[in-house]
A and B are shown apart, each in its own frame.
Chain A
């Protein structure tokens, strides 16, 4: 047994024959001295199972690439799933009617359900307040009798202007962009652009309309 195995090992690479040449040229005695002791053991295992070290690694590489590709494909499909083909959302930009439809001091709730905004005519300014509480995102309710917006979730309260005055909310309601459509004179609200009080954006002329 031992004789048979030692012969192919010597035939394949013949480490003993090549070693003196390596030894003299590279001038590194220590690895060369260790080398002759080990090869017979490694070669014996390789010839036994008919699998070389290189063969094993190439199979592992194929398997690994396949595995990665499968996972990557799944993740790509999953990522694509996050962006639906059709979104059933109302348009962010919409017309709400003529400025005369909103008399002074009135909070118009007609567009809360369809577009999520109140049109408020307060102190000569017509604004579109977004009906989402700035505390944790519940829809507040307009309480006509108390002249305030009040959130049912944690009790945040806002004045008619949208400024917060009670409860835990840290900042006022947000305004949407509001303008007059030049073609038919209707009010055009664009929810895609928001104006935040705490960043001084309520002074922006496109965040309100001057009305008499």
Chain B
């Protein structure tokens, strides 16, 4: 049992767990057998067995059963359920379309039901159940009250509200201006821009997976891997001093994790070229700047010529494609920077502290 626990602990360290989750994500989306009733029950059983079994472990219980963290467990189940539901209906519809039959939504909307009593009754039942649930929750799990606020002491670890933990996790890898303002702003702008960038009418009003594989894959990657998973990591796996802890690991405040970070400029000028850092910021950061210009200017143009992205370019046209590509590349900057941190201890690609421009 201990061997299994330490194995899971090791596995959950970010460089393993993130890679694993990427592989799992691709596999899960491609595996059609999972998006059936049997597959759904299987996944539900696996997650529940994992949670219930792990509750026997003291360290796991102390983190997961904390009143603050209960919504995250609910979120895991809810996200899983809605993910399964959408994929299940999408694959069902794909089969129906292939067989020439009407989609689920079309056949469903043919028989109509009354608002009263059918809809209003279900709403009433939902309302009663939800109210009872909230009342019981608020009585059983107390809101955590802590000592009076003190300017010079922050709780260790200091955690944002659970829905912002993805942002807090981003802040570990980026400058506050990037992770706190630019990226969250672009998330909102990007989500609002989706209907203007993706004008493909397929999938309007009915679930489908086959007709929009790339779009669904891209959205799920951003939502499940880069948002929900970061919230789960931030809640369950970040302990004192914002160090990383496995799910069965004791939150030791004195855990030593050597994390000496270096900038790209230091890697190139000192480690590779063997000369000191230039004193002016422009020659010092020139490699990072070139890299970023290449990433955001040259790469989208190159993408429009690539075989896989070419058809998007042809369908969407220049302006739409380049807007979409820029948003996509900005999103991909997060996993790239995370891996760069884990593998090369990279702090910043461009680090101009003279006027607070850090990427």
Give A168 to B353 CA distance when docked, in angstroms. Answer: 13
Residues of B within 8 A of A153 (CB): 154, 157-158, 168, 242
A154 touching B242 in the complex, CB below 8 Å, given contacts A168-B175, A170-B356:
yes
> Is the beta-carbon distance between B172 and A167 smaller than 8 angstroms?
yes
Q: How many A residues touch the partner, as a band?
A: 20 to 34
Residues of B within 8 A of A199 (CB): 354
Give A167 to B174 CA distance when docked, in angstroms. Answer: 9
> Is the beta-carbon distance between B353 and A139 smaller than 8 angstroms?
no
Residue B40 interfacial (CB < 8 Å): no
Give A111 to B240 CA distance when docked, in angstroms. Answer: 23
Which of A17-25, A30-38, A144-152, A202-210 interfaces with chain B? Answer: A144-152
> Is the beta-carbon distance between A141 and B254 smaller than 8 angstroms?
no
Separation in Å of the B190 CB from the closest CB of chain A? 23
Query: Among the listed A139, A155, A165, A171, which residue makes an inter-chain contact with B154, where contact means beta carbons less than 8 Å apart?
Result: A139
Give A170 to B158 CA distance when docked, in angstroms. Answer: 20
Say whether chain B's binding surface is mostly helix, strand, loop, or mixed. Answer: loop
Closest to A109 in B: B152
> Is the beta-carbon distance between B353 and A170 smaller than 8 angstroms?
yes
Which of B76-84, B118-126, B255-263 interfaces with chain A? Answer: B255-263
Give A167 to B157 CA distance when docked, in angstroms. Answer: 14
Q: Which residues in B have some Cβ–Cβ distance to A below 8 Å?
A: 150-158, 168, 171-176, 179-180, 240-243, 254, 256, 258-261, 347-348, 351, 353-354, 356, 358
Q: Which residues in A have some Cβ–Cβ distance to B below 8 Å?
A: 112-113, 116, 131, 135-136, 138-139, 141, 143, 145-146, 150-155, 157, 165-168, 170-171, 198-199
A–B Cβ pairs within 8 angstroms, 22 of them = A136-B176, A138-B154, A138-B158, A143-B254, A151-B154, A152-B155, A152-B242, A153-B157, A154-B168, A154-B171, A155-B242, A155-B259, A157-B259, A166-B258, A167-B261, A168-B347, A170-B175, A170-B348, A170-B351, A170-B353, A198-B353, A198-B354
